Structure 1
Amino acid sequence: MIRPAFEPETLPVEATGADLPPVVAGRLTPDGLRARFEQRLSWAPEPIIEAPWRDQHVDPRVAAVLVPLVVRDNGLTVLLTQRADHLNDHAGQVSFPGGRHEPFDADATATALREAQEEVGLDPSRVEILGALPDYLTGTGFRVTPVIGLVHPPFTLKADAFEVAEVFEVPLAFLMNPAHHEERVFRYEGGQRRFFAMPYPRPASAEAEDREGQVGGHYFIWGATAAMLRNFYRFLAA
């Protein structure tokens, strides 16, 4: 059965993670993250809540994303992209820089760094790789490895206009606050899709017009990107 299309932003919030413990502030720093990735932690990824890939006749496509944590004076931020509307996969959605593994990529890290350079012009030499989270299997048939890296200024970006509509940053502390983790559900005849969402307010400035041309609004972070951020929270809170 083909699931119908839906507008995720219009669905009501059914729950949040407000009752979950916060991440210790010291872990949201470069040194704290380095120490965390050096440990052998016992932790469990979030149970997949979106409909997983179920086609037994086709293997998931291997991919990787870079989770770029920009080292800013006022704290770490997460660099994200808004994908162009015409793309075949995840059009218009907020995503990490990344894409499909190519035969010449040595590993997931090589894929993530190459794709980030191609999509937003991020120089791999400015990225300090910390490690990776468990693979995430999307409902659209991608097995994605989230590669975590610190991005050290100065650096310049040049977005690929064909793939990327916008590049922006969100404070890591905001995304790692479970109170900002919304659960929404799309119900349809024959099933449902449950997913995370983490709306982040757009800056109220003349340069920050939303996709309808109005100032303000939200960056609507949801689906696989939000789920991988939720796993990052689980890792840091363990």
Structure 2
Amino acid sequence: MRKNITLLLFLTISLLTNAQKFQIKGKLHDSQGGELPYATVLLLNAKDSTMVNYALSDTKGDFIIKDVPRNNYLLKVTFIGYFAKTFEITPPASVVLDLGIIRMQEESQLLQEVMVKEERIPMKVKHDTLEYDVLAFKPKANEVVEDLIKRMPGIEVATDGSITAQGEQVKRVTVDGKEFFGRDPKMATQNLPADAIAKVQVFDQKSEKAQFTGIDDGQKERTMNLELKDDRKEGAFGNS
């Protein structure tokens, strides 16, 4: 009898916990009805616009953000060459909020240049690279890169300093595309000051053998590149 009560209590708590979360989904199209793959969808706190979660649309323009706590949010959709769209999100009665088809409007080249100057997009996809704009994550004084990337969606840092990006372990960290004192990723992330970095880029790099021979052997390793600010490209870094 006691076991049954315990099991019932556990199931009730689980159901209540799940009921407190929902998911947001939708499909991105251009004005002609074409699908928009690899667009960035940002879920922001309605109070201060801090980033809570994100998603990238798939090859068919579909996106989904799961396990969203029941609060009020702003959902911002960005795609290079198109006007950004922002939606107010309130928790739905069900567990799924389906936004349906979202049509994005293309910008003129002049407007693109103006908007790039006025607004910082925290993250975007460029070909096969996920790129984070460091200034959008507000690096603090005396922080190192490890402190900074902990705030970036999709990146996790373990207690031993190992890094996971989009679910895969980062095997190599480079600085402006070059090795930073060996292949240990922690050498760069635990020593470089955060305010020296302009962008953080995550991508899958071909193996050294494939790069040397020019023949793709199918082996890739998750890589993080730290792009330095122009005024910090010369000089030495390190924690003393």
Which TM-score band (shorter chain)? Answer: under 0.3
State TM-score, norm by structure 2. Answer: 0.25
- Higher relative contact order (Cα pairs below 8 Å, separated by 6+ residues): 1
Between structures 1 and 2, the one with greater strand share? 2
State TM-score, norm by structure 1. Answer: 0.25
Structure number with greater Rg is 2
